[in-house]
Structure 1
Amino acid sequence: LPKALYSLLPETLLLADSKEADLQPITPEKIAYSPPPELKATLRPYQLHGVKWLLACEQQGFGACLADDMGLGKTLQTIAVLLYLKQQTKANPTDSNSGNVSVELTRQLSLFEPHQSEIRPLQALVILPTSLVFNWRRELEQFAPSLFVYVHTGTGRLRDLRAIAGHDVVLTTYHTARQDLLLLGRMSWRVIVLDESQQIKNHQSEISRVVRSLKGRFKISLSGTPIENSLADLWTQMEFINPHALGSFREFKKRFLLPIEKRRDDKAKQRLFEIVRPFFLRRTKEEVAPDLPDKSEQVFYSEMPPEQYRAYEQIKSAIRNQILTLFDNPQTRAQALNELMRLRQMANHPALLEPESNLPSGKFEDILSHWENARRSGHKVLFFSSFEKHLQLFRSYFEQQGHAFAWLTGSTPKPARTREVDRFQMQSNVQAFFMTLKAGGVGLNLTAADYVFILDPWWNPFVEQQAIARAHRIGQKKPVTVIRFIARNSIEEKILLLQQRKQQLGQALFEGSREVPDLSREDVEMLLE
């Protein structure tokens, strides 16, 4: 009987045979793991424990769900596990997958027998939202450059499974996995990872059925919110990582879902949690606070959807030469900077330029996704933007959803400012505070927040640091996580480079919050590349 099916036995039989059962507890402490030199990162103590826990699940033949709070490094912990399994593959060249493709690949590699252990690929499939593809690839390159990574997206993606199988890590999206089921489903993957695994919560959806049908020896799901709406979400998570562990959905509904949600049956809840608890690991920021720095900063790169990117490129092509001509004349330099602002606005959301526009914004959706994760975990978030119009878009969404929020811009009267600060600091249901960088960047004490979202970059990083200091200051008892949202392949990436240059030259502190950025012609040319 597979270990994952033990939970289907009647409870009395399971208890009666527990002493003889071959089901060993998952004990990360017994895993002999230490980060190898190939891992280009230092694991914090809780991250090291998370890696060992995942490996313990893998060695026992179970799948696992890592459900840490947002910002605690679920991706890094997973990369460390993939790197370890790759090294184990090198050390045990006879340990190959059982799928036909893997066997065919092994036969091909036998021509190069002396080097076979060196080039045997791990064959891990990572399925994730489109918005996370670039960030995953970037972190793999940064933390595990020795892994051979392939991004399976777009119209030019590979159709030959043998070529795909030659990689250590294959990144693909939920949408592409659904489209390419006949291709990817032929593979017996060494590892399958789902990021933002709540995407499969609806067990009747096509994407949920597709993902659960894929064959993998070790399955990992990553989600800060594995249960969003109902215990039915839990069944889908378990059905992916440990198929059949909770029986069919009909059985799960009869044994657990209805008794718990309809009849408030505590005994049924206790039985359910006893079954699933060994396979879920969740740490909150508060729990691991001693391991965290006072402040951690991340950059999240958002992909512009094709429609938004085309509109962005059209504007850039139309105004590039005009901007350079205007910039060369000191009397029209301010006009040139206004044209650059149009590019910044389009990179954020097309509606900032054309209020009636129906074009989507990749960054807008990414920010809301991060907000939902923070909100469900009970965190408070400061939202900073250079553009009040940008904040207004989020305000409209919050009002539609019925989410309470605080608001502060340059037009907010002084008495109202005090009231808004007090609401955010004192009322638990007010989890969001929207502020423009100029209005909210100085003079406020907002230590109730432990997340800071910088929605768009300002020319001078010192201005952003002043805004971050609203939360990261004396009186703050929790670690503060700062996330900067940057539209990829846009002027925002170039502004980041300018920020770094200013910091290296020590210019940022002396420029302060000046309205007009100190740019050279070379800077402008770089911004428009």
Structure 2
Amino acid sequence: MLVIAPLRVADDTWARETEKWDHLKHLRISKVLGSAETRRKALKADADIYVINRENVEWLVGELGTSWNFDTVVIDELSSFKNGQSKRFRALRRVRPMMKRVIGLTGTPAPNSLMDLWPEIYLLDQGERLGKTITSYRDRFFVPGARSGHIVYEWKEKQEAEQRIYAAISDIAVSMKSEDWLELPERIDRVVPIKLDQKSRELYKKLEKDLLLPYRDADVVAQTAAVLSNKLLQMASGAVYDEDRGVKLIHDAKLDALEDIIEAANGKPVMVFYNFKHSLSRIQERFPKAQILRKGKDGNQDIADWNSDKIPLLLLHPKSAGHGLNLQESSCQTVVWFDQIWSLEEDQQANARVHRQGQTRRIVVMRLVAEGTMDEDAADALERKAAGQDALMNAVKARIEKVRGVA
């Protein structure tokens, strides 16, 4: 059996989980990770389960070719194969006929839209249910939306498309919510409003209105709606990158709020999610005991230390720590989102690192939201379960119109 998983999950979680269960302890796991030479050696090892990270799928297909000998393949985080144009999808598609069974695991099968489902389901049934090509899938369930000439930028679902798609895959898909099957403790979501001082608010409004903040050494410029959204979220968190990738400090309001939250935790570990590198560096400067998850074996030790309450403040980026990590064994009850994000998938997966099977304590998820800023739009989008690129663009458009109306 071959297991394809995110790197850290492949390196740590799969091997560690087998040790927890008596009926799995006999299974031999070979990690096909590291350098090409190390991976080749791991492939030749006598094992029951071979685990590889998804970035090396293309290499594995090229290495084995027609000698592909895995009759069962498990894809941990199937949504990472949602792009039908990606190299990893194309590689796996080539050897799919040589597999007898494919099992896909994901908590977010369609993170952006139902369009994401086709590549994932194709790897399961080779196009039997949703069509052999993405074109036939689109024609069957979608109609063109926003377009420029012959180029379609958006596809909208046909009437009852969702029900028809779910009906088509119902015989091979099992959907379970953890709260329906597990006795999970309560999760409380709280918005912590952050009030900016007058100077910070004026700088924020100036960038929002003029798309430019002039500085003596390097200006802060927002040339597109997406860039503007990103810059405004940065400013809401307390700093912003200029044109030379230098950092302009705006305020410390969120750092002060985080300090209060850590103090209120009474010595229990606190988990903090950040999105910007300057947020990470500023948090580390304020809280020297804060740690990030390192890579490889060091990262595995960090996970063990966190679960043993040896790390008081853990700083995580949702993209690198959003899938598969088991961080629920510590006594942590406080999760803080220092920066706000638009991705519903990343938000859900990140929060599930602690609020998951094995958790015995109530978890409080706190979002530090700067009042009157793009933070509020991002948090609202997540609350509506409508987060993503469309929500981002609509929020920016609404803010621009509001600012121009005031002007």
Q: Shorter-chain-normalised TM-score: which range?
A: 0.3 to 0.5
The TM-score with structure 2 as length reference comes to 0.46
Find the structure with the greater CA-based Rg: 1
Greater helix percent: which structure? 1
The TM-score with structure 1 as length reference comes to 0.36
Greater strand percent: which structure? 2
